[in-house]
A = this chain, B = another copy of it.
Amino acid sequence: MRTGNAIIGTAGGPTVVINQSVLGVIQQIERSMHIVHVFGARRGVEGIVREDYFDLMRQPRNMLDLVAQTPAAALGSTRIKPDQEYCQRVLEAFRRRDVRYFFYIGGNDSANTARIISRVAREAKYEMRTIHIPKTIDNDLLVSDHTPGYGSCAKFVGSAFIGDNLDNRSLPGVKINLLMGRNAGFITAASILARFREDDGPHLVYVPERTFDLEQFVTDVGNVYRRYGRCLVAVSEGIHDGQGTLWAEKVSVLRQEHLERDAFGNLQLGVGTGSLADFLAGTLRNRFKDISRVRADTLGYLQRSYPASVSVVDAWEARLCGQMAVSYSVDAEMDGSVALLRLPGSRYAVGTKLVDLKEVAPDHPPFTKVLPDKYISPEGNNVTNNYREYVRPLIAELPRIGWFEQIADMARFSVHE
């Protein structure tokens, strides 16, 4: 490949390991003969068209490893989804700076951006390599076995449910946790990492891959509560009704209608992220007057940003994807996306390959991956325990837990009887 400069950019919702991929790229470029200089675009494509760059070769040496361990996008991120015309401006910026290598770290939308830039450059006969590096907590990218960012998110969710299941055991009641994932149930499915004993929660898991029926939900919770005297539920934000309308949307519309009737001056009833979980809890409270404790939490942004329990496997794989992106950019004869593959065998091991951008950002649906049927219970209200085999290696360490054993024989305690 032609000698020139390189640009790295990051886009979409951050993860806790996205900076590992940035550092992987920097490290590998330092070993490369073809790349003169590497710059970081501030806030993805926005930084490129605005020519707002970090000089990644002049960063304090001792800072780089710290940046890699730091959550969120140190280069800043963007929600812009560039069209053909926007990508023309990106290409002009590349031309001005002799950029011959472009590494774009992101999810499905970023793969699509990379694909457009790749085409625009080819049509302009501008010699360059565009490589997409996978990143998303949603784990919904096509081709890859899993996506950097997901392992740490799954570890956070699994850990959160370990704690919450025990909390719910301490003070029994019904607890609902709402999790991220509009279209795919992978994040919600990770909640089952908290199940060790037969009666551990989550006892019910609702993913967007199945229709969410409110009546069935009430029945399910009632059944679990009668059996265990408590119930822990994992619900994806992407649950929808039989017509495909999001429940979050339905609740929001109801609230909005109320809001329009609002006559409280300054005081506005917000329609927010907590609404869906609160709605579900409210429904259960109305239906089960005998259950004294019904609580709901929406785990929120911590799922993608909590820094204190990153998966070392996820961190390592994110670094690897960055490194391999540079190797492919120099050695391979094509633009593409780095895919993570699980190697066959009894022990967990991964490899990478470079796949065509149109495999990750295709022209026709499916555009993203969803939770396979084999991991969803026939009733559609749970994720099966064999999902654990898929997700467990991505987590590295989970908190270990212990619990007292109930010992029936209390004879020695009857001192005076």
Residues of A within 8 A of B (CB): 5, 10, 13-14, 16, 36-37, 39-40, 53-56, 58-60, 63-79, 95-98, 155-156, 159-160, 162-164, 166-167, 169-171, 175, 214-215, 250-251, 254-255, 258, 261, 264, 266-275, 277-283, 285-286, 295-302, 304-309, 398-407, 409-410, 412-417
Contact = CB atoms under 8 A, between A and B. Distances in A.
Given A274-B273, A308-B155, A71 B266 contact: no
Contacts of A255: 269
Contact of A166 (B72, B167, B258, B404): B72
Given A14-B171, A278-B274, A296-B274, A305 B404 contact: no
B272 A399 contact: no
A273 to B, nearest CB: 6
Contacts of A214: 266-267
Given A66-B401, A167-B14, A269 B279 contact: yes
A375 B98 CA distance: 53
Nearest to A276: B274
What are the 9 A-B residue pairs with the smallest beta carbon separation, nearest first? A274-B274, A270-B282, A66-B402, A272-B278, A297-B300, A163-B305, A72-B166, A308-B309, A67-B402
A214 B5 CA distance: 51
A416 B166 contact: no
Contacts of A279: 267-270, 272
Contact of A298 (B162, B274, B409): B274
A55 B412 contact: yes
A59 B212 CA distance: 43
Contacts of A251: 269
Contacts of A73: 170-171
B307 A401 contact: yes
Contact of A283 (B268, B308, B414): B268
Among A66, A79, A283, A306, the most chain B Cβ lie within 10 Å of the Cβ of A306
B402 A164 contact: no
Contact of A163 (B5, B71, B159): B71
A413 B39 contact: yes
Given A58-B407, A270-B282, 10 more contacts: A36-B415, A55-B407, A69-B401, A163-B307, A164-B301, A167-B301, A254-B264, A267-B279, A269-B282, A297-B298
A250 B261 CA distance: 17
B271 A13 contact: no
A81 to B, nearest CB: 14
Contacts of A40: 404
Contacts of A272: 274, 277-279, 281-282, 296
17 contacts: A14-B170, A37-B413, A54-B404, A56-B404, A64-B402, A69-B402, A70-B401, A71-B163, A77-B171, A96-B416, A164-B305, A268-B279, A269-B282, A274-B274, A297-B301, A299-B300, A308-B308
Nearest to A159: B308
Contacts of A65: 402
A295 B305 CA distance: 14
Nearest to A194: B307
A295 B270 contact: no
